C-alpha cells in the first residue's frame, strides 16, 4: 500500500481490497483462537491423562496468557518499526511450532512449557491483527469490520470447543490432535497473507526495543501469580514464603515502571497510558479480561467434571455464550459505524457482563441447563459489545504512527487481566474443591487417600462413590468463582461510565486541521 493511501482520506482502499486483505488477517485470528479454544473442552481429559492437578490445569491456561501478555506490547512496538505483514507471519509460525511441541508433551509440566512458548505467537497474532486493521481502515468505518472480526471470533470460539470435544472423544485421534490440527490451517493463512496483505513499511531510525522493561513486567507478574497459585494451600497468607515472593514481585514491577519512564521507546508508553480515555479503557479492559478469561475458562471443566457431560457435549453447551458474542459484536459494530458513537455500547456491554456473571454465580451441580444457557448468552453479549470496542476507543484518539503501541497496550492489559483472573480464580477453585472433597469424604466415612493419590480430574480411575463426591465439589465451587468474576466486572462498568463521549473520526490518521479544531476536546481527554 502506497504512502498516500494511509493518509487522512476516507475510502483510500476499496471495500473489495479491504476484504481481500482482511480475509488473511481473520484467518490468522481464526487459527489462534480455534487452536486455543480447542483445548478448553479437551483440557479436563488432557490433564487427567497426564495425571495433572487442578493447579496444573490452571497453569496450562495461565502460562499461555502470561507469555502472550508479556510479548504483546513488544509485537506492537515492532509493528511501528518494521513490516507488519512479516511480523504477522512470524507470530503465526511461532504459534504453530508451540502447538506441535505441546502435542508431543509427555507430562503436565512439559505441556505447560510448550503452551508458554505457544503464547509468544498468540501475543503477536492478537496485537498485530488489530494493528493491521487499524492501518487500513478509519475508526468510523472500523465498526462494521469489527463485526466481521466478532463473527470470526464467535465461529472459532464455537467451533473450537466442538472440534476439541470430537477429537478427544474419537479414539483413533486422541487429545494430541487438538494441538496438531492447527498446522494445515496455519499454512493456508500464511499463503493468503502473502497474497493479500500489503501494508506500508515505515522504518524509524535509531529506535530500540525495551526488552528489559518487558522482561521485568513478565518476571514481576510471574512471581506474583506463582504466589497466588500456592498461598493458603501450601503456606499461609502471612508467612516467610509470602514475604519472599510478594516482595521481589512488587520490586520487579516497580523497577519496570522506573525503566518505562526513562527509555526512549517504552514497551508500555506511559504518555499514552496517562491520557484519561486510554487509562479508563485500560481499567475496563483489565476488568473485562479478568472476568471473561477467568470465568469462561472453567466452564468446560464445570460441564465435564461437575455435570458429567462428554467433551463434545460440553462444547455444544457453550454455544449460547458464543452466539451472544456473534450477535452483539455484529450489531453493535454496525450501529457504531452508523452513529459514530461508541461509549453507550461499551457501557451497555459491561453492565450485561455483570448481569451474566451474577446469574452464573448461582450455579451448582444441579442447576437447570436453560438457566446456564441464558446466563452464558448474557456474558457473551457483554463481551461482544465491550472487548473490541475498548480497543477501537483508544485507536480513535491516537495518530497512525502510535496505533501499534496504543493497540498493543490495551491488548496487553486485557491479557494481563485475563492472566490474573485465571490464576486467582483457579487458585480459589482448587482450594474450595480440595476442602469440599476432603469434607465430603470424611462425612461419607471414606478414608483419606482413597483417590489413590492420583488426579481428581481423572474420574475414570476413581470409584463411583468418589466420582459423585468429586463432581458435586467441582459443580458447587464453580458458582463461587463466577461471583468473583461479577464483582471484578463491576469495575469495568465504573470505568466505562467515566469515559468521555467522543465521536469516531472518519480518517485513518489524525489530520493536522482536525487536531487544531478539536484541541480543546483533546485537552479534556488527557
What was the pLDDT predicted at 465?
Answer: 73
DSSP string, 378-425: HHHHHHHHHHHHHHHHHHTTS-GGGHHHHHHHHHHHHHHHHHHHHHHH
CB 509 within 8 A of CB 399: yes
* pTM (two decimals): 0.73
Q: How many CB atoms lie within 10 A of CB 180?
A: 18
Please give the distance of CA 242 from its chain centroid, rounded to a whole number.
Answer: 28
Q: Give strand pairing partners of 235.
A: 231
Closest CA to 449 of 465, 433, 435, 438: 438
Q: What does the domain layout of the chain look like in residue ranges?
A: 9-196+265-525, 215-264
95 vs 143: which has the higher pLDDT: 95
| CA gap 80, 75 in Å, rounded | 9
Instruction: Quickly tell me which residue has 504518555 as its cell.
Output: 271
Is residue 262's pLDDT more than 80? yes
Q: What is the mean pLDDT of residues 245-272?
A: 85
Grid cell digits, residue 226: 506463582
CA–CA–CA angle 151, 155, 159 (5° rounding): 175
Task: Enter the C-alpha cell of residue 407.
Answer: 493497540
| Tens digits of residue pLDDT in 322-333 | 788 878 888 887
* pLDDT of residue 118 exceeding 70: yes
- Each residue of 4-52: pLDDT tens digit? 333 444 445 567 767 777 877 888 788 787 777 777 778 888 888 888 7
Q: What is the pLDDT of residue 377?
A: 92
- HEC secondary structure over 239-281: CHHHHHHHHHHHHHHHHHHHHHCCCCCCCCCHHHHCCHHHHHH
What burial class does residue 19 get, using C-beta atoms within 10 Å of its C-beta: 0-12 exposed, 13-18 middle, 19+ buried? middle
Q: What is the sign of the dihedral through the CA atoms of 422, 428, 432 and 438?
A: positive
- pLDDT over 80 at 514, yes or no: no
CATH superfamily ID and name for 9-196+265-525: MFS general substrate transporter like domains (1.20.1250.20)
Q: Measure the CA–CA gap between 305 and 14, rounded to whole angstroms.
A: 50
Q: Specify whether the CB–CB gap between 421 and 295 falls below 8 A.
A: yes
DSSP character at residue 3: G
Q: Which residues of 275-310 are buried (b: 16+ CB within 10 A; e: fewer)?
A: bebbbbbbbbbbbbbbbbbbbbbbbbbbbbbbbebb
Phi then psi dihedrals of residue 258, to 5 deg: -60, -45
CA distance 213 to 267: 6
452 pLDDT above the threshold of 70: no
Degrees to nearest 5, angle at CA 60 with 56 and 63 = 115
* Cβ atoms of residues 135 and 6 within 8 Å: yes
Cell 504466589 belongs to which residue? Answer: 227
Residue 317: band (very low, low, confident or very high) from pLDDT cuts 50, 70, 90: confident
User: 343-360 and 369-395 helices cross at what angle (nearest 10)?
Assistant: 150
Q: Helix (H, G, I), strand (E, B), or coil: what is residue 121?
A: helix
Q: What is the average per-residue pLDDT within 387-402?
A: 74
Q: Provide mean pLDDT across the span 442-471.
A: 67
* Angstrom distance (rounded) from CA 169 to CA 293: 25
The Cα–Cα gap between 498 and 390 comes to 13
Classified as helix, coil or strand, 207 is coil
Q: How far apart are CA 495 and CA 499, in angstroms?
A: 7
Amino acid at each position: 500500500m502506497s504512502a498516500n493511501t494511509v493518509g487522512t482520506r476516507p475510502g483510500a482502499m476499496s471495500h473489495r481490497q479491504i476484504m481481500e486483505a482482511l480475509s488473511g488477517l481473520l484467518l490468522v485470528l481464526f487459527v489462534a483462537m480455534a487452536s486455543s479454544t480447542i483445548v478448553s473442552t479437551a483440557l479436563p481429559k488432557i490433564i487427567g491423562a497426564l495425571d495433572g492437578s487442578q493447579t496444573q490445569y490452571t497453569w496450562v491456561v495461565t502460562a499461555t496468557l502470561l507469555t502472550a501478555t508479556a510479548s504483546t506490547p513488544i509485537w506492537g512496538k515492532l509493528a511501528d518499526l518494521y513490516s507488519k505483514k512479516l511480523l504477522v507471519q512470524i507470530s503465526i509460525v511461532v504459534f504453530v511450532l508451540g502447538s506441535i511441541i505441546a502435542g508431543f508433551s509427555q507430562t503436565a509440566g512439559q505441556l505447560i512449557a510448550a503452551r508458554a512458548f505457544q503464547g509468544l505467537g498468540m501475543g503477536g497474532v492478537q496485537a498485530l491483527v488489530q494493528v493491521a486493521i487499524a492501518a487500513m481502515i478509519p475508526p468510523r468505518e472500523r465498526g462494521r469490520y469489527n463485526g466481521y472480526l466478532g463473527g470470526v471470533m464467535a465461529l472459532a470460539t464455537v467451533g473450537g470447543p466442538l472440534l476439541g470435544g470430537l477429537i478427544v472423544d474419537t479414539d483413533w485421534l486422541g487429545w494430541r490432535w487438538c494441538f496438531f490440527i492447527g498446522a494445515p490451517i496455519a499454512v493456508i493463512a500464511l499463503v493468503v497473507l502473502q497474497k493479500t496483505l500489503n501494508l506500508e513499511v515505515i522504518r524509524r531510525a535509531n529506535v530500540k526495543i525495551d526488552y528489559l522493561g518487558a522482561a521485568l513486567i513478565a518476571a514481576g507478574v510471574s512471581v506474583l501469580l506463582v504466589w497466588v497459585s500456592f498461598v493458603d494451600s501450601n503456606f499461609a497468607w502471612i508467612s516467610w514464603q509470602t514475604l519472599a515472593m510478594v516482595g521481589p514481585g512488587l520490586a520487579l514491577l516497580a523497577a519496570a515502571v522506573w525503566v518505562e519512564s526513562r527509555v526512549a521507546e517504552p514497551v508500555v508508553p506511559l504518555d499514552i497510558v496517562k491520557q484519561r480515555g486510554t487509562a479508563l479503557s485500560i481499567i475496563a479492559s483489565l476488568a473485562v479480561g479478568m472476568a471473561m478469561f477467568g470465568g469462561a475458562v472453567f466452564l468446560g471443566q464445570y460441564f465435564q467434571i461437575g455435570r458429567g457431560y462428554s467433551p463434545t457435549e460440553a462444547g455444544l453447551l457453550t454455544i449460547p455464550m458464543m452466539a451472544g458474542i456473534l450477535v452483539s459484536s455484529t450489531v453493535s459494530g454496525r450501529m457504531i459505524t452508523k452513529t459514530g458513537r461508541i461509549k453507550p455500547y461499551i457501557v451497555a456491554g459491561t453492565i450485561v457482563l455483570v448481569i451474566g456473571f451474577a446469574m452464573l454465580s448461582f450455579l451448582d451441580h444441579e442447576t437447570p441447563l436453560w438457566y446456564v444457557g441464558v446466563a452464558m448468552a448474557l456474558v457473551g453479549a457483554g463481551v461482544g459489545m465491550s472487548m473490541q470496542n475498548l480497543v477501537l476507543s483508544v485507536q480513535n484518539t491516537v495518530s497512525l504512527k502510535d496505533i501499534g503501541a496504543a493497540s498493543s497496550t490495551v491488548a496487553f492489559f486485557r491479557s494481563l487481566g485475563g492472566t490474573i483472573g485465571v490464576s486467582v480464580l483457579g487458585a480459589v477453585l482448587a482450594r474450595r474443591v480440595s476442602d469440599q472433597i476432603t469434607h465430603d469424604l470424611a462425612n461419607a466415612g471414606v478414608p483419606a487417600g482413597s483417590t489413590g493419590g492420583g488426579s481428581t480430574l481423572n474420574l475414570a480411575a476413581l470409584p463411583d462413590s468418589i466420582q459423585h463426591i468429586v463432581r458435586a465439589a467441582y459443580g458447587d465451587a464453580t458458582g463461587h468463582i463466577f461471583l468473583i468474576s461479577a464483582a471484578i466486572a463491576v469495575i469495568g462498568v465504573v470505568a466505562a461510565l467515566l469515559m468521555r463521549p467522543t465521536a469516531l473520526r472518519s480518517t485513518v490518521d489524525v489530520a493536522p486541521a482536525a487536531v487544531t479544531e478539536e484541541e480543546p476536546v483533546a485537552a479534556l481527554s488527557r
